[in-house]
Chains A and B, each alone.
Chain A
Amino acid sequence: MISSALSFKDKTWYKAILIIFLWVIGVAYLIHQYEPGFVNALIDVGVHTLFLLIAFFFLENIFRFYTPQEKHFLIFLAFPLLLSTLVFFLGKFTVELVLNQNKEYLSFFKEINLLYAFVIFLIILGYALLLLFHSKLDSQIKAMERADQMERLAREAELYQLRQQLQPHFLFNSLNSISSLVKRKPVEAREMVLQLSDFLRKTIRKENNKWIKVAEELEYLRLFIGIEKLRFGHRLSVDFISDAATDKLVLPQLMVQPLLENAVKHGLYGVLGDVLISVGFEVEDQYLKISISNPYDPEAGQATGEGFGLKAVKRRLFLLFGRHDLLQVKEGKNLFVVELKIPQNYDQYSSH
């Protein structure tokens, strides 16, 4: 606060000077009422104010790097106590040095020493409380900004998701498959139309901020894989591994599907022959752990445009949980594994 007040950018600089000036005059006048000698009082107050300002500066810098939690109340008290002791003794020493000719004032000064110490402590404590309040407010604003950004990114992810599924790669190829089936295998063609509609409807209806049960997510993933299998059934097989315990756990929507789509794409285009993808759901401490693995060839160069899905999911995880460690990628010899951890004790409704 002091530092921001002392910035030359705006008028606060003049305001701060004015307030300090009025303060010094005011207090000096007050002391003058008890012990005549305005100049002496002025010097006394001036010296103490200077030390107080220095103490403010220190306090602010301490709190910038370390904001005490409410439960550490004693630590919070310790800083002002220490600083006020310092200010008191430095002030006392300086005043006695400067006014050493003025016996009358010094004896008055000695009388009210205790009161001085108390007032200094109160002022510094007040300032510390002000700083604490300010930093709380600051972090609240930051949390709000994060939530805001999260909402925007979720919307973007949703759009990206839609674009992904409604664009060439998936939709046009699926339509081409239907076109191929229509004449020769009309029953299968109709089946695929229905599956595709089901999947698209579910995708469009998804809300990014909603959490769903693993069982529900599995249903959606199976729908997606069903369509891919009509196109690549001769090569593609997908294992879903889950149990009754994991079925009840929850996860944010549209988190696993982009990863699975990535795995399918890189499996099918990265290697020749059969592609086995496995999607495992596990309970691990307070987390739902989801691992998705696909075969790949580490030697071959990567096709471009990839990794975006991975990046988007990583970003969303950070915005949801404020953590960077929830998505891990493990590149094995021939297996590419993505591990996703969803905290289960997280209050899923707090973010919106």
Chain B
Amino acid sequence: MINIVVIDDEPLAAELILEYLSDYEQTCVLAVCHDGFDGLKTIKELQPDLIFLDIQMPKITGLEMLELLENPPAVIFTTAYDEYAVKAFDAQAIDYLLKPFSKERFGKAIEKFLVMGDNLKELGKYNFTKMEAPGVSERIVLKDKNEIKIIPFSTIQYLEANDDYVNIYTSEGKFLKNKTMKYFEQVLDDKAFVRVHRSYIVKVTEITKIEGYEKDSFLLILKSGEKIPVSKSGYPKLKSVLGI
């Protein structure tokens, strides 16, 4: 039996998937969710084998929801936006269905899951946090304690590398996100943020002072009082962004 959860904010779209699925006897739909928060909770609770996932949904997108899952199930995206398609594949999805899709096309996606789904899961391929494709949204969605937190890029003060994670500092405090510094260097606006050090990305407008503290090395003093080291390769980058 394949256990399935359908996540789509449009009831009619979800109903269509249910209708198509009714012809597959080996499938069982555990739940239908209408937003990412509900989806997240349901997936954790019911541990489905496969989810059908819409992308544009209230508050957080389907992709952002996936990033928050530790052991995500196999995913088939259903969306009307093909600009997301490449990203969905980067996210190692089984397939993506462009709305509106035919029953035949739907069948192919199910077949694809039957052929490769289980193998992929055992190989641990479903790691959506490794997605390096630049995001379409200007924000970070993460889990803080048991809450889902949305952090707009504009509120970030600086980022600090922390093994496989990145510490995100905002005026509200420190948050942890399982993405790489390289990822953030790509997605953040390079006129507003500078990677001044292997371990630090700083928002330019947060800097109040640049202090020389040894020969050839500098310290940034931020508005919050924090001190950030600048590396040899970081200094010219900083200078060009500041225009000095």
A residues touching B (Cβ–Cβ < 8 Å)?
Answer: 168-169, 172-173, 175-181, 183-184, 230-232, 234, 268-272, 297, 299-305
Contacts and interface: CB of A to CB of B under 8 A. Distances in A.
B12 A269 contact: no
A303 B58 CA distance: 11
A152 B136 CA distance: 30
A206 B37 CA distance: 41
B99 A300 contact: no
Q: Which of A175, A178, A301, A304 has the most CB of B within 10 A?
A: A301
B172 to A, nearest CB: 10
Given A168-B82, A268-B58, A271-B59, A301 B10 contact: no
B9 A304 contact: no
A305 B59 CA distance: 16
Given A169-B56, A180-B12, A301-B154, 12 more contacts: A169-B80, A172-B99, A176-B12, A176-B101, A181-B12, A232-B10, A269-B56, A272-B59, A300-B150, A301-B151, A304-B136, A304-B138
Interface of B: 9-13, 15-16, 19, 35, 37, 56-59, 79-82, 98-101, 136-140, 150-154
Contacts of B136: 303-305
Q: Which of B79, B80, B82, B138 has the most CB of A within 10 A?
A: B80
6 contacts: A168-B80, A169-B56, A169-B80, A269-B56, A269-B59, A302-B139
B10 A231 contact: yes
A102 B150 CA distance: 93
Q: Which of A181, A272, A297 has the most CB of B within 10 A?
A: A272
Given A180-B15, A303-B137, A297 B59 contact: yes
A234 B57 CA distance: 14
Contacts of A299: 150, 152
A300 B154 CA distance: 11
Contacts of B138: 301-304
A64 B100 CA distance: 61
Given A172-B100, A303-B137, A270 B58 contact: yes
A230 to B, nearest CB: 7
Contacts of B13: 173, 176-177, 180
Nearest to A302: B138
Nearest to B13: A176
Nearest to A168: B80
A235 B70 CA distance: 30
A175 B99 contact: yes
A301 B100 contact: no
Given A176-B80, A297-B59, A304 B12 contact: no
Q: Which of A169, A173, A234 has the most CB of B within 10 A?
A: A173
B104 to A, nearest CB: 13
A300 B152 contact: yes
A30 to B, nearest CB: 63
Contact of A173 (B10, B11, B15, B139): B10
Contacts of B139: 300-302
Contacts of B82: 168
B10 A272 contact: no
B100 A176 contact: yes
Contacts of B101: 176
Contact of B12 (A169, A230, A268, A271): A230
A250 B137 CA distance: 38
A169 B152 contact: no
A148 B15 CA distance: 50
A173 B138 CA distance: 24
Contact of A234 (B11, B59, B100): B11
Given A176-B100, A269-B59, A301-B137, A184 B15 contact: yes
